[in-house]
Amino acid sequence: MCISSISFENTNKKMTEILLTIFFISVLLIFLGSGIWVAISMVGVSSIGMMLFTTRPVGDAMATTIWGASSSWTLTALPLFVWMGEILFRTKLSENLFEGLSPWMQKLPGGLVHVNVVGCALFAAISGSSAATVATVGKMSIPELRKRKYPESILLGSLAGSGTLGLLIPPSIILIIYGVTVQESIAKLFIAGIVPGIMIALIFMTYVMIWSLINKKYMPTFKQDFSLTEKVRKSGKLIPVILLIVSVIGSIYTGIATATEAASLGVVGALILSYFQKSLSLKTFKESLLGATKTSCMIAFILAGATFLSLAMGFTGLPRNLALWIEGMELSPYVLIFVLMIFYIILGMFLDGISAVVLTMAIIEPMIRQAGFDMIWFGVFLVIVVEMAQITPPVGFNLFVLQGMANKDMGYIARSAFPLFLLMIFAVILVVIFPEIALWMPEQMIKNIN
């Protein structure tokens, strides 16, 4: 009789957990599908869930949780890095990128298409935003490459794919969000993103070379000759930007500055650079400040909503029970990572990267820690997978940006970017098989500091 009672209670508990899972997912999907803001949707679901399934006052819990999420010192790096990108977005950087890189790239197989990849990698080290990277580099490369008759498919595909590097190469906004959410070092996450970011850029450049050799008849043949002196002179305009990047990342790597202090250094450097380029006026200063404020508030709002959702789910025991359920399935680490990759690719088709990360971390984090994965490594893995979602329809943000700039339909741009999507899957496989790709530099940073 006693055994039957225990069995009945266990069955009831499992049924309750299943119903709670269905409830949270269903209500959230209804809110998101109706066009309500992501942050409002998360707060709404959390409030309803706490009112129905807990006895804690919802208002007190919301106020305490949102204040705690918003008052994190680590989070102060976010608006500063966003502002740095906004300042440089309004400088002559896009013109300087093309003028400085083109003499070095034009003789490679693929020619000036490589400017898309290298230009995106360089701007990614300034902005931290995928959309801003695509917009800045595309603003100068699309007209110039079209003028030289480069094929549209490789032009737009390389730009869409390379723009995703804005999420991975530090300073990355999404890595800051991830670090705050899982309470890991922002500095280590930044340093961990450098080698994988360079690796992906090199993979893209290799693809451009192979594509151009296979489709040689479609590639323009005109190449302007530059002497070494001319190449160096034209690249001189990039030196201040490269020095700014090295200063920001180098100060973090050597332990001289925290991520927040490095962000302050970046803002001061960006202001000085824009002043000497004569692109800093009262108008551009106000525009950069307003743009940074809007972006930072949007991200902070989403993060606050996600923190409240995590609290509500924690009261129900859903994350812990889901982690135990996954553990009970006895999936191998590789199978678990594969399942999560598919999950985030699908989720990324409907949500932006930041929302996808903060929305799921409450459930995914215990599962990953239980499986024994390094959270710094998982952050790099997660960002690469989220990058892939930036070029997948229907909600691929890079595709939307390019659609407006290139006057091409979404389907054409998505097809052009699909080979780079496959290359990013290859990059994920390399990072999974060789975790040292992401972990080597953080380990070296710890040794330098010690």
422: which 2 tokens? 């496959």
Q: How far apart are the first and last CA of the chain?
A: 62
Label each residue of 276-301 as H, E or C: HCCCCCHHHHHHHHHHHHHHHHHHHH
Q: What is the pLDDT of residue 15?
A: 64
Higher pLDDT, 134 or 52: 134
How does residue 379 score in pLDDT terms, banded at 50, 70 and 90? Answer: very high
Q: What is the pLDDT of residue 350?
A: 66
DSSP classification of residue 222: -
How does residue 14 score in pLDDT terms, banded at 50, 70 and 90? Answer: low
Which sign does the torsion angle of CA 112, 113, 114, 120 carry? positive
Q: What is the pLDDT of residue 389?
A: 80
pLDDT at 46 over 50: yes
Mean pLDDT of 281-299: 85
Residue 127: alpha-carbon gap to chain centroid = 11
Per-residue pLDDT reduced to its tens digit, 414-438? 899 899 999 999 999 999 999 999 9
Peptide bond preceding 79 in cis form (omega within 30 of 0): no
Domain residues of the chain, as ranges? 73-449
The number of helices, as runs of H, and strands, as runs of E, in the chain is 22, 0
C-alpha 298/C-alpha 441 separation (Å) is: 31
Mean pLDDT of 254-264: 84
Q: Cα-atom radius of gyration of the chain, to the nearest Å?
A: 23
Q: Give percent above pLDDT 70 in the chain.
A: 85
Mean pLDDT of 220-238: 75
Segment among 19-23, 27-31, 370-374, 420-424 with least mean pLDDT: 19-23
Cβ(420)–Cβ(207) below 8 Å = yes
Mean pLDDT of 221-225: 68
Cβ(124)–Cβ(197) below 8 Å = yes
Average per-residue pLDDT for the chain:
80
DSSP readout, 204-215?
A: HHHHHHHHHHHT
Q: What is the pLDDT of residue 3?
A: 47
Segment among 11-25, 57-71, 107-121, 260-274 with least mean pLDDT: 11-25
Mean pLDDT of 80-85: 82
Per-residue pLDDT reduced to its tens digit, 140-176? 788 888 888 889 899 999 998 898 888 888 888 888 8
Which sign does the torsion angle of CA 239, 240, 243, 248 carry? negative
CA distances from 3 to 6, 54, 70, 264, 328 (A): 5, 29, 48, 63, 22
C-alpha 246/C-alpha 252 separation (Å) is: 10
Per-residue pLDDT reduced to its tens digit, 396-417? 777 877 887 777 887 888 899 8
H helix intervals, 106-214:
113-127, 130-147, 152-163, 173-182, 186-192, 194-214
H helix intervals, 372-396:
375-389
Peptide bond preceding 394 in cis form (omega within 30 of 0): yes
Q: What is the pLDDT of residue 327?
A: 62
Q: What is the pLDDT of residue 320?
A: 60
Query: Which residue type sits at 221?
Result: T
Q: What is the pLDDT of residue 296?
A: 80
C-alpha 211/C-alpha 198 separation (Å) is: 20
Q: What is the pLDDT of residue 427?
A: 94
Among 428, 301, 425, smallest CA distance to 358 is for 301
How does residue 374 score in pLDDT terms, banded at 50, 70 and 90? Answer: very high
How does residue 16 score in pLDDT terms, banded at 50, 70 and 90? Answer: low
pLDDT at 4 over 50: no
Q: What is the pLDDT of residue 94?
A: 65
What pTM was estimated for this model as a whole?
0.78
Residue in the block written with tokens 């055994």 = 3
How does residue 82 score in pLDDT terms, banded at 50, 70 and 90? Answer: confident
DSSP classification of residue 74: G
CA dihedral of 177, 180, 185, 189, whole degrees rounded to 10: -20
Mean pLDDT of 320-332: 66
Mean pLDDT of 17-29: 68
Mean pLDDT of 9-24: 62
Among 122, 201, 130, smallest CA distance to 387 is for 130
Q: What are phi and psi of 183, to 5 degrees?
A: 60, 50
pLDDT at 316 over 70: no
C-alpha 182/C-alpha 195 separation (Å) is: 22
C-alpha 155/C-alpha 416 separation (Å) is: 9
Mean pLDDT of 292-305: 79
Per-residue pLDDT reduced to its tens digit, 117-131? 988 888 888 777 777
Cβ(353)–Cβ(391) below 8 Å = no
C-alpha 163/C-alpha 160 separation (Å) is: 5
Mean pLDDT of 86-110: 78
pLDDT at 2 over 60: no
C-alpha 199/C-alpha 429 separation (Å) is: 12
Cβ(201)–Cβ(158) below 8 Å = no
Residue in the block written with tokens 């440089």 = 88
Give helix 130-147 / helix 77-89 axis angle, nearest 10°.
20
